[in-house]
Amino acid sequence: MATVTQEKSKGSATSGAKVDARAAMEALNAEAGPLNIWLRTQANAPAQRPWFRDTGIEAAGQLAGGRVGKAQVKAAAHRWRWAEIGPYLDRIAEIARTSDVSPIEFAERQQFLLTNPGFGGRLQVTSTIRCAVSIYNPGDVAPVHIHTPNASRTILSENGGYTTVEGERCEASRGDLILTPHGTWHDHGNDGAAPVVWIDVLDFPLIEYLDCLWLDDEFEGDRLSNSRAQAPTHGTGYSHRLYGEGGLMPGFVSHQRGIGRGANPMIHYRGADVLDALRALAKETGDPYEGITLAFVNPVTGAPVFPTLAYGAQLLRPGEETRWKRETASNFYVCIEGDGFSEIAGQRFDWTRNDMFVAPNFLWRRHVNTGKGDAVLYSVSEAPLMEKIGQYRAQGRLADGTVTELVA
Ligand SMILES: [Fe+2]
């Protein structure tokens, strides 16, 4: 055998026509595809750079090429401009007005979902996060239901619309974060006079991947007279009365919500409170990588609001430029106010009010406030999940460019 190998290698060395190993492997794989196998050698191995060795700011996520590359997915840095996508909500509403189905039938969900170009059309913005933007016209109701994914609403309209969660009615205003933790009965609607718009964020892709997805709409509790929504059992502002004073916890109530384990009982975080809290801290030094930050937390445990997702708000002062940072968790952002840009793996994404963008895991990012006033970003991070599976790490760049471990 040894002789044969030597002969072969001598033959190829003298022939002068070297085979392009990668191309040859791809050709072979095109042929082998129908047999549902993929042939691998070092030459065509999926490219995955050793992240902590490669510290180039412009290094984007790498994928394999060829047949396998087409099927691989990885979040891409991307921005959705509100000026471009927002008008589609009006067009959905216009179709609803002239539709051949009843308004109620049409109205259960009027939304568009964001698709990250890195996922080839899948309904997700990161590996674990799905995001929709919904419009509810006056009279619209999303009937009461319950499901396994954790979900939230970030309110973009100034006022109007509601979500009722386990009997707590939450009246929505801009910047509010309203949670529907897994295993809680909830419904949404608009009983005001003007359309309302909000962002829905869910850990849907993760739950779907885990084959743990279910939804039920056989609600057996008391309903409102229209029979599509649950009857509120607590006065408006219940969450706030119970948990709205930081550091103080009521001792006479159960903190359990719904049937899920450890669901966050703080259902409604008010945008006005978030802005007040950020501004009250604006003269503090802040974090060089993030500015002034606040985490939305479960008041009972201090943990992120969901086991899978962390929600945050950050304020960047006029002219503030954060240092470069990267994490092993993707982040989804929405600009609540102000103007600026974020650089992600060397790409610049300008943002203004209601624009949304994704900073995928592994990629260097920084934020810059270019406006005259404060800029406020809300974020949703996959960090809690990465923490739980022992994969969360973060790095920053000092002013001189030196890379430092932020979380080891
Ligand atoms: Fe839901």
**Whether the Cβ atoms of residue 127 and residue 75 lie closer than 8 Å to each other:** yes
pLDDT tens digit string along 250-293?
A: 999 999 999 988 899 999 999 999 999 999 999 999 999 999 99
Residues 6+ apart with CB under 8 A from 68: 29, 38, 44, 46
d(CA 362, ligand 1 centre) in Å: 31
d(CA 235, ligand 1 centre) in Å: 21
* pLDDT (mean) for 67-80: 86
* pLDDT (mean) for 49-65: 72
**Whether the Cβ atoms of residue 174 and residue 188 lie closer than 8 Å to each other:** no
- pLDDT band of 12, cuts 50, 70, 90: very low
d(CA 259, ligand 1 centre) in Å: 14
d(CA 350, ligand 1 centre) in Å: 32
For residue 394, give the nearest of 346, 341, 324, 334 by alpha carbon.
324
Residue 6 has pLDDT above 70, yes or no: no
d(CA 180, ligand 1 centre) in Å: 7
- pLDDT band of 41, cuts 50, 70, 90: confident
d(CA 392, ligand 1 centre) in Å: 29
d(CA 142, ligand 1 centre) in Å: 8
pLDDT tens digit string along 297-309?
A: 999 999 999 999 9
Residues 6+ apart with CB under 8 A from 212: 148
Q: Cα angle at 337 between 334 and 343, to 5 degrees?
A: 55
d(CA 186, ligand 1 centre) in Å: 6
pLDDT tens digit string along 196-254?
A: 999 999 999 999 999 999 999 999 999 987 678 999 999 889 999 999 988 999 999 99
Mean pLDDT, the chain, whole residue set: 89
d(CA 121, ligand 1 centre) in Å: 22
pLDDT tens digit string along 76-106?
A: 999 999 999 999 988 887 887 777 776 656 6
**Whether the Cβ atoms of residue 216 and residue 144 lie closer than 8 Å to each other:** no
d(CA 88, ligand 1 centre) in Å: 22
d(CA 380, ligand 1 centre) in Å: 18
Cα dihedral 184, 189, 195, 196, rounded to 10, equals -20
pLDDT of residue 3: 39
Q: CA-CA distance, 357 to 52, in Å (whole number)?
A: 24
d(CA 396, ligand 1 centre) in Å: 37
d(CA 101, ligand 1 centre) in Å: 22
d(CA 214, ligand 1 centre) in Å: 11
d(CA 308, ligand 1 centre) in Å: 17
- pLDDT band of 55, cuts 50, 70, 90: low
d(CA 74, ligand 1 centre) in Å: 26
